[in-house]
Structure 1
């Protein structure tokens, strides 16, 4: 019970960072693929389609003339890092336990299938469907913002690794490439998150883990169930360094002392 309450406080802490208008506009207007959703005509095609994408959204429709199908086609252009498919095949629907018109999001990072059920489909519009995709689109590395954090904490994966690094730094491209490689080693065990330390709104996240700007870039690992966490400033990020840090945490090893009493006093202020 105490862990649940603490987790709620942590969530409240993160949600106090509001999404800046320019970031919200970028999410809404990001250019997507110029083509429409891929038609999935049989089960092997659907399985291959989902396995090939970090995030896939499929419209399972018994009738393509319903309003929801039109809304679905309309949002495809907004998400360049999401694969869209559509199927009316009865065997495909049965394979994914679909019994009525449904829009499903599939995440490779934690093998989740999230469904918009019939009551949601009947009232779906562009805004509702876009937000469903925005919140739940978790990749091998998901960039933190007040929208994606909802999906991160709704995942069944309880351990989160945060890379706190300025995206404008010269080392960023090589570091994020290595970070993504490391993320695939912990698929289904740890969610990998990027926190852009160059963004003013992310300062609270950094300070939560008692890190100073002079210690960045740094890794912070956090378990939502009991709020255990650890940090590691990194001069140069490598796959081996990330792997060793994660393995150590999973095995109960921590690099910093437990600041449990200090953390509790901080949360009271929140």
Structure 2
């Protein structure tokens, strides 16, 4: 219970660094995209569904026994909104049984931690565009997830208890190459460590950076945190190479670290802000 509370407080702190209740109510707007037209993929058997899920970092599948319900057209409307998510649909009884689906359900699958998150029949009946958008936005964790108000909740919900944060300005000339290397390093720790990008060019993210006792002059930097026991470490002025990231993570996993415990958090500060 104590470990769960520490995990909750830490990630909620990151969440509240940026998000007011008013902003939270509108967070679904952040994923609008005017990209090319896309369609849902029809999944007619179990092998097709398994291959579809395995090929995507984030996959959302509508498991429907009845294609006439309002949630089906709503589901199709999400395809254009979330360009980085793969959408599939299935009515096949064997597919539904394979994924333990007993009614009309929308499920999100994450490659990064092998999670299956379900919106069950009782939720589907009252679902609207805002609720479905928030469900997808909040739970879409990739190999590298950019920190924002919605993904902060998804990070908290993940079963992976170690998070690595790269704090770097996305406008810097080195960003593209650094991110490519960071993503390659993330593949080495899939299922063990969640890789997160914190854009230091976003003013509100300054609180996240200072939380780890880092200054702008020390960026880019890496910060690693384990929610179970609040142990953490930082690597200021980090060269973002696969080797450096791997060595930093391996050192932390092996018990080598410089810092120990994050500052204690005021529980009342959070309890008064749980209105999102």
Q: TM-score, normalised by structure 1?
A: 0.92
Q: Tell me how far 1:25 sits from its aligned partner.
A: 7.2
Shift of 1:53: 0.4
Comparing 6-15 with 242-251, greater Cα deviation is found at 6-15
- Extract unaligned runs of 5+ from structure 1: none
**Contact preservation (8 Å) 1:33, 1:76:** no
1:174-193 maps to which residues of 2 (within 5 A)? 174-193=177-196
CA drift at 1:214:
0.7
Distance 1:95 1:186, change over 3 A: same
Moved segments of 4+, more than 6 Å: none
* Larger relative contact order, structure 1 or 2 (CA cutoff 8 Å, min sep 6): 2
Deviations 1:204-229 (A, max 9, x none): 10001000111100000000111110
Indicate yes or no: 2:92 matched with 1:85.
no
Residues 1:246 and 2:249 aligned together: yes
1:75-224 superposed matches below 5 A: 75-224=78-227
Q: Secondary structure at the match of 2:73?
A: helix
- State the alpha-carbon separation in 1 of the partners of residues 33 and 202 from structure 2: 19
| CA 73–247 in structure 1, closer or farther in 2 if over 3 Å, else same | same
Per-residue deviation at 1:191? Answer: 0.3
- Kept in 1: contact 2:27–2:134 (CA 8 A): no
Give the structure 2 partner of residue 17 of structure 1.
Answer: 17
Q: Distance in 2 between matches of 1:246 and 1:108?
A: 20
SS in 2 for 1:147: helix
The alignment partner of 1:246 has SS state of helix
The C-alpha deviation readout for 1:74-122, integer Å capped at 9, x for no partner, is: 1111001000000001111111111111000000000111010111011
- Partners of 1:144 and 1:157 in 2: CA distance: 16
Matched residues in 1 for 2:29 and 2:130: separation?
Answer: 14
Displacement, 1:65? 1.0
CA-CA distance at 1:24 after TM superposition: 4.2
Aligned residue pair count: 265
Q: Please report how far the alpha carbon of residue 36 of structure 1 lies from its aligned counterpart in structure 2 after TM superposition.
A: 1.8
Deviations 1:144-197 (A, max 9, x none): 011101001100000000000000000000000000000011010000000000
Aligned match for 2:58, one of 49, 52, 55 = 55
Unaligned runs of 5+ in 2: 270-276
What does residue 233 of structure 1 align with? Answer: 236
Shift in Å, 1:28: 4.0
Checking the alignment, whether the CA contact within 8 Å between 1:37 and 1:85 is kept in structure 2 is yes
Render the CA deviation track for 1:223-259: whole Å, top value 9, x for unaligned: 01111100002442110110111011111110x243x
Contact 1:32 1:79 in 2 (8 A): no
